[in-house]
Each structure stands twice: as C-alpha cells, then as structure tokens.
Chain A
Amino acid sequence: MTGKEKKKTKLNLRIKIADVIFKNPIWVASGTFGYAEEFQDFVELEQIGAIITKTITLNARIGNLPPRIVETPSGLLNSIGLENKGVRHFKKNYYPFLKKCKTRIIVSIAGADIDELKECAGILCRDQAPDAIEVNLSCPNVTHKGAKHRLIAQDADATEKVINALRKTITVPLIAKLSPNVTDISEIAVAAEAGGADAVSLVNTYLALAVDADTMKLILGKGMGGLSGPAIKPMALRAVYDVYGKIKIPVIGIGGVMSGKDVAEFMLCGANAVQIGTANFTAPDIYEKIMREFKTYLSEKKINKAVSIIGRLKGIKA
C-alpha cells in the first residue's frame, strides 16, 4: 500500500536431476531413514526433498553378525550387512506407505551380480516405479563374487557394465552411489556416466576398524566396517570437488552433513543435492533443523535460488 513495502522474493529451493524436479536439495541417505515410517512421528516427511530407502536386494538378507555398530570419534562405524527382507516383501509392506508420502521416493538397490540387480530393478519398476533408483555399488559389507576388485564401485569397467545393463532394463533415473575406497573416484564417476547413469552420489562409507584394547579384539562382529559421520566430511567434500567438472551429470554429495552450512559446503563444491545420513541418528527430528539453517544461510547471503550456489566456490577451481 505504501509503496515502500519490501518486495518479498520467495526462496526457490527446487533442483532438477534427469528431468525430475525435486522440491529441495536436502535428501535423506539410504540406510539412515529405514523405510520412513519410523520417522513420521518426528519429521514432516513431505518436506524432505527425496527419501532414499534402505537398500533392498532381490532376496532377503539376514545381515551381519552383531555387534554391527560402534561410535568412533565424531563418527559411526557400521557393518549392518544390507539386512532386508527382499524386493517382493518391500513392494508389499513398505512401498505403499512410501508412495503415499508426498515427496520423491528413491529406492536403493544392491545385488551380488548384474543379473540379481537387473531382476530386482525389474520387479521394483514393474507396477509403480519409484522416482529414481540409487544403485548401491559400494557397500563395503557385501561379499562380491568373482570380480578382480572387492566391490563393483572399485572397478571402473564393472561400474560401467553394471550401470549399462540396468540402463537397458529400466527407464527411471539411475543414480550410481560411489565408494570412496578407491584411488581415483573421478575415474569411477566417469565410468558411471559412460554406462548411462543420470547422476552419481558420493560418498558411501570409508572402510575402517574399531579395536577394543582391553579385550584385544575387533569390536564389530564382522571386524571391518564403514565409517560415516562428521569425521568424514572433509574427505567427502574433497571427493565431490574432485568429481565435479569431470562429468556432465549431476553430483549428489554425502558425508557428515549435520547443519545447513554443511549442505551449502557440499553444494559450493559442486553438489546439486545433498544427503543427510548419520545425523538422523543424533536426533530423529534433525532434518527440520538442517533445512531451517540452510534457508537462513541463503537469506543471509541474499541468495534466492538454491541452484545458484552449485559449484560456486570463489577463487581457484581446477
């Protein structure tokens, strides 16, 4: 009325990956949010940019010998072992609830070999396909048959082959989740792109150990585990920074995000979207806090569109 009213520009958090629009770039990582039902008391699920389910496999897996988790300095070591009841059970018991959540649902899949992956993806996409599939090529707890490297994600050729095979099987967007337990993660990212992936997400957990000096034993039942949490953020940021610019497809950042500023850090390094993982264990309602902080960060910087900070680190950029 007075003409001196400040023009309120609405914050635009939308991002696009493989022609799919996501309402915001803050997602929840596979294995840290179950199948979402457990969190509905604490988070308004529809405000989440995308929910990535716990990894499912073709057949049920019983998971690894306990103890499966232990806290380490500013981190969490886990060896869950992809425990899940199989894709058919998922479709019948968890998928209906997820489909009702008014947000993007990305299903994470894994398999011992290409055929299992293809069959799992096929069954999943048969009636009502998810908004995307994240292929877990890199979980360090899966024993891998026959290949030269311990994991698909450690082998560029295998990565390209697997993504390519899946690409031919299904039409939904494919996200390749990469492992950091490699010499050159960009090489793997390039291979995933060549295979037809629509995006890459990195990083999965780092191979690590916890020892109990008193009992003189390894703490985890399986011995080796994967490290996640704030301790790995500097390394995850480096991986995103390294990969960004070497591929044309979007990069999704994962690794120790606990705050809105952490989200911004990953996006500045080149991530289109960011996944929150271990943070969900520190407080089941942490998503809202992180989203609030991210919005505050953008307003303080007078940035209206979230996409405008992607890859926008000032100064040196290789």
Chain B
Amino acid sequence: MRQSLLRIKKQESINKRIKSKLKKTMRKQSKYIENAQIFSNEEIVRDAEHTDHFIMELIAPQISKHASPGQFVTVKVQENTTEPLLRIPLGIHDNEIKDTNKKGIKLLYKVVGDATFLLSKKKQGETINVLGPLGNGFCLDEILFEKGQTAIIIAGGHGVAPLYFLAKEIIKQREQDEAFKGNVEVFLGAATKEHVICRGAIGKFCSLGTDTIHVATEDGTQGSKGYIPKVVDRYLKKQTTDHCSRSTIYSCGPKPMLAEVARLADKYNIKAYLSLDAYMACGIGACLGCAVSTREGYKMVCKDGPVFSAEEINWEKELQMD
C-alpha cells in the first residue's frame, strides 16, 4: 500500500514539473533588437587548418536572457548599404559568452556566401544589429524526468551550432534537478576531420560513463567512416524497443540528412525534433516567405519553427525542391 502511495506522489511531482515547463514554452516570447558589441569573432582552426567556421560572441543582454535552445537571431551584416539587403538568420549557439561579467550570445557560422564572408571580417569592438530570439526552439518537455531517458542529438556539419546550446541546457537541467536522470548521445557528422566542430566543447560538460559522443566523417579521417544517419542507424539497431521508446531525437543539418533522420525516427518509432532552414525576409512571421511544406499545409520556419517534429514535414514536397 505504502509503495503505491509513494509511486503516486512521485508521478504527481513529475506531472507538476512537466506542467510548469510546458507553461514556460507556451508563454509569449519577447523579441528584441540590440546593437550588440562584438566581444570576439574567431575562426575555428583545427590542426592549423582553416575550417571556414567562425564563432562570434556578442554582448546582447536581452537576447541572452530570453533565448532558448533552437531559437535563432537575424543579423544585419552591414549598415548603410543595400548589399546585402536582408538580414541573415543564425541559430543561437550559446546564451553565455566567455566574459561572465557580460551577458551575451554566441553564434557559430560557416562562410558560405557574401553575407557570411562580411560577417567573418568583423572585428572585436564593432557593433552589429541583432534581432531575436526568434522562433519556437526545441521542446524540452519531451525529456521526462525519469531515469533512463535519452536525448539523441544528431548534428550534420555546422548544424551542431544550435544543438550545442541544447545539449548544454539538458545537462544543466540534470545537474540542477535530482529527479532528472537522462543522458545524451551526441552524433557529430562531418565531411572530414577539419569539419568536426564542437567535439571538445560538448565533451567538457558531458559526464563520462553517462553521455557519449560519436563522431563520423565521410572520409574516415576522424571517428567512424560514413554518413552520420548510417552511424545512428547502427546505434539504434543495438538498442531495445524499450530504450527507443524512452528516447527523443534532436537534429539539425542539411535537408537530405534531416530527411534520413526522419526516416530513422519513423523506423524505430522515436519522437524526433528537427531544426529547419529557409530563405527568410522578415524573420518575424509577417511576410510568409519562409514557407515549409507540412502535412497541415504551409508553415513558416521563422514563426512556427524552426523546430518541427519529423512526422509533421511533408518530405516528398520538401526534397522535390532541391
């Protein structure tokens, strides 16, 4: 009799915690524009090789205070010019910067075109106009506060940017919350070893024996050789059905990779949340430009996303576009 009473009490306290967390994610998020001072803007160099990946730290107290993992900002890379005209969207990599006296955010980006090239040339001390936090963020409520829940985090290339923030928050919760006993399995996929980023940074807050980081490069120069979804498939094959039912997938990366992750989520019956990307104009849900095809019609990546559940996306239509 006493045992069942204890179980009921435990379930009640878990339910209470879930309810309050849900309330937090449903509350209207505030958006801010800040003329953020650049604290640092440095290239990630691996083995003396340029990687074309940069981390920019910005002093942005409001955005830092309100940011949740999975949300993004838009940045005006150059003032008083029409080239480029629009802002660029970048996932929030972290809500803390090295200088703990200052509140700010980190952006991890890859130089892929003119706008990101200009961004990479910005120096410490310069100001840059930032709008955020935008979007819905990853839903952390799916990680229930029971022993044995696993967050499977799958990153493709610089898709690791927002996932780093997510992993950090999950593990922080574990440290603060006695009841939360979950773990993270991080899968980092990249083309070559020069493109493997954040391995060390994530490793810093993971717990040995509890969390695992799996690395895979397509050319085999680091970690396993192969395409990251294939590595995840091999891992999932070895898990029990019970383990899969207590796991949640969080992923970000190139669209074809996300489609593969969605397929895996379906195959192993695991709930999956994917962070999508799209050309954006306003970033705040007004212009209806960043549409993505879902099973319930078009949704906006900047407002209804960027995080969508894998089963929501109409992959046939989305992959046709490329």
Contacts and interface: CB of A to CB of B under 8 A. Distances in A.
Interface string B76-107: 10000011111100000000000000000000
B321 A221 contact: yes
Contacts of B284: 34, 38-39, 284
A54 B85 CA distance: 22
Interface residues of A, number: 38
Interface stretch (B189-197, B214-222, B290-298): B290-298
Interface string A251-284: 0000000100000000000000000001011111
A18 to B, nearest CB: 27
> A-side binding surface: helix, strand, loop or mixed?
loop
Nearest to B302: A38
Interface residues of B, number: 34
A27 interface: no
A66 B298 contact: yes
B85 A229 contact: yes
A278 B293 CA distance: 24
Contacts of B297: 62
A80 B84 contact: no
Interface stretch (A71-79, A163-171, A198-206): A71-79
B278 A80 contact: no
Nearest to B31: A41
B78 to A, nearest CB: 11
A49 to B, nearest CB: 18
A68 B298 CA distance: 11
B291 A68 contact: yes
B33 interface: yes
Contacts of A65: 317, 321
A181 interface: no
A69 B290 contact: yes
Interface in A183-230: 215, 221, 229-230
A66 B83 contact: no
Interface string A82-121: 0100000000000000000000000000000000000000
B213 to A, nearest CB: 34
A67 B83 CA distance: 21
A32 interface: yes
B82 A229 contact: yes
Given A63-B298, A66-B298, A280-B282, A71 B86 contact: yes
Contacts of B223: none
Given A83-B298, A285-B33, A32 B292 contact: no
Contact of B287 (A32, A75, A230): A32
B288 interface: yes
A31 interface: yes
A179 B317 CA distance: 32
A33 interface: yes
Given A70-B279, A283-B76, A283-B129, A76 B85 contact: yes
B269 interface: no
Contact of A62 (B32, B286, B298): B298
A74 B285 contact: no
Contacts of B322: 215
A63 B287 contact: no
A69 B285 contact: no
A82 B278 CA distance: 19
B131 interface: yes
Contact of B285 (A34, A63, A75, A282): A34
Interface string B263-300: 00000000000000011111111111111110001100
A66 B286 contact: no
A80 B287 CA distance: 8
Nearest to B285: A38
A42 B279 CA distance: 22
Contacts of A282: 76, 85-87
A107 to B, nearest CB: 16
B30 interface: yes
Contacts of B321: 65-67, 221
Interface of B: 30-33, 76, 82-87, 129, 131, 278-293, 297-298, 317, 321-322
- Give 5 closest A-B pairs by Cβ, nearest first: A34-B286, A69-B289, A74-B82, A281-B281, A38-B286
23 contacts: A31-B287, A34-B287, A38-B286, A66-B278, A68-B289, A69-B280, A71-B85, A78-B281, A80-B287, A80-B289, A83-B288, A83-B291, A229-B85, A230-B82, A231-B82, A278-B85, A281-B283, A282-B85, A283-B33, A283-B129, A283-B131, A284-B282, A285-B33
